[in-house]
Amino acid sequence: MQLNIVNALQLAVLLPVLGGSIFSLLTVVTVKRFFKGSRKDRQNDTLQNNPFTPPVSVLKPVRGLEKNLKRNLRTIATQDYPNYQVIYSVQDPQDPAYPIIKGIQAEFGSDRISVVISTVEAGANGKVNNLLGAIQAAAHDIIIISDSDTHLQPDYISTIVKPLANPDVGCVCTPFKVTKADSWYEKMELLTMNADFMPSVMFAEVTGASNSCLGPSIAIRRSTLERLGGLESLADYLVEDYEIGRRVWTSGQKMVLLPYLIDVVVDLASWKNWWSHQVYWDQNTYLARPGAFISTILIRSIPFALIFALLRWDIIGLGVLVATIIIRMITAMMVAQTMQDKETIKTLYLLPFRDAVGLIFWGLAFTQRTVIWRGVEFKLTSHGKMVKHRLIQN
């Protein structure tokens, strides 16, 4: 009887080993398909076949000093685009980032750069509160929401606004890859995004399995945003970007994920920040798409290959583990090559460990109902909303 239970358990853990290996192979195909148009072709199409260059207001919420902050913030001020406004917003005049954005304003002029200080607090989501101050200064209907940690190429605005020439398109966003990882825990964060999350997003986009709205880079008409309830209605949502996308596609408009990568600079102060952010990320995913998140248990090949090897404790178990790691590493390298992501390739030696501890974060997403953001702890409530709980002392 005991032997039958062990055999059944071994067969059960082989399901995610097989499922995860097949999924890894499929992501190589879907990521290549997602990026099948070259960057040069996209640029030519944008500039020649579709000269859609409406005036644009870019909202850049800023809080605190981040790695490469000035360099990242300047990239939106040096765009190859005829008519756009950049609005940097902070919620505290004593914010250490304030002198940096004022310096950028002095460099490029107040005609292009606006700086807003606003203490609006419509809800628990700090990013949305910051955006509420910025949007009041927006002069144009087309709004781009761009995070402070993004590093953008000069063709960013011209590329992301192009799909909005189609009135059926409600919102546009871009995939991203994490860069500038220095410590081991920043490298683990990089692998989570570049070798796990983004390939899954592109797989879902190509296969039509689900829609995505990615928060670091969003373009939407202000009139569309207001019709969907406005920023104020998002102020208590943990995953405001997903909620924007959900409202867009349920309203009957199209959600566009462009084959255009932007860089997001990772900045984690300690391994504890990495740990809490990983739990926060899985909580986000679980609250946004519970069914899809739960089903990811079937594609977590490395942790279950490790369990299989421990259950068998023989050459077969070891062989399955080694083969699983090899498949995962090779396919991740091929995906990274397609994404022109040399940093991920150099960091792949940590991928088996990242995948193994990823199962822990997956489990914690079901048990924890608090999340820490910018030093404040929030309690999660129903429907992905959150309320402020307490200030975390460093």
What does the pLDDT read at residue 43? 46
Based on the domain organization, do 17 and 92 belong to the same domain?
A: no
Q: What residues make up the domain containing 89?
A: 52-271
The single-letter DSSP state of residue 231 is G
Q: How many other CB atoms sit within 10 Å of the CB of residue 162?
A: 24
Based on the domain organization, do 252 and 151 belong to the same domain?
A: yes
Based on the domain organization, do 164 and 304 belong to the same domain?
A: no
Based on the domain organization, do 212 and 302 belong to the same domain?
A: no
- Position 43 in a domain: no
Instruction: Write out the two tokens for 202.
Output: 């592109």
Whether 217 and 160 have beta carbons less than 8 Å apart is answered as: yes
Based on the domain organization, do 296 and 256 belong to the same domain?
A: no
Based on the domain organization, do 161 and 124 belong to the same domain?
A: yes
Residue ending a domain, among 240, 271, 302, is: 271
What does the pLDDT read at residue 46? 43
- Position 42 in a domain: no
**Per the structure, how many domains does the chain have?**
2
Q: How many other CB atoms sit within 10 Å of the CB of residue 344?
A: 25
Digitized pLDDT (tens) for each residue of the chain, 394 residues in all: 555 777 778 788 899 999 999 999 999 999 999 998 544 444 445 444 668 899 999 999 999 999 999 999 999 999 999 999 999 999 998 999 999 999 999 999 999 999 999 888 888 888 999 999 999 999 999 999 999 999 999 999 999 999 999 999 999 999 999 999 999 999 999 999 999 999 999 999 999 887 888 889 999 999 999 999 999 998 888 788 888 988 998 999 999 999 999 999 999 999 998 998 888 888 878 877 788 889 999 999 999 999 999 998 999 999 999 999 999 999 999 999 999 999 999 999 999 999 999 999 999 888 866 666 556 667 666 566 666 655 554 4
- Position 103 in a domain: yes
Instruction: Determine the 3-state secondary structure of 76 from DSSP.
Output: coil
What letter represents residue 95's amino acid? D
- Position 140 in a domain: yes
- Position 328 in a domain: yes
The CA distances from residue 102 to 81, 96, 105, 108, 111, in Å, are 22, 11, 5, 10, 13
Based on the domain organization, do 99 and 142 belong to the same domain?
A: yes
- Position 47 in a domain: no
Residue ending a domain, among 241, 271, 301, is: 271
What letter represents residue 255's amino acid? M
Based on the domain organization, do 295 and 258 belong to the same domain?
A: no
Task: Give the CATH number for residue 173.
Answer: 3.90.550.10
Based on the domain organization, do 16 and 118 belong to the same domain?
A: no
Residue ending a domain, among 220, 250, 271, is: 271
| pTM tops 0.95 | no
Based on the domain organization, do 356 and 256 belong to the same domain?
A: no
Residues 6 or more apart whose Cβ sits within 8 Å of residue 30: 199, 202, 203, 205, 206, 207
**182/20 Cα distance (integer angstroms):** 29
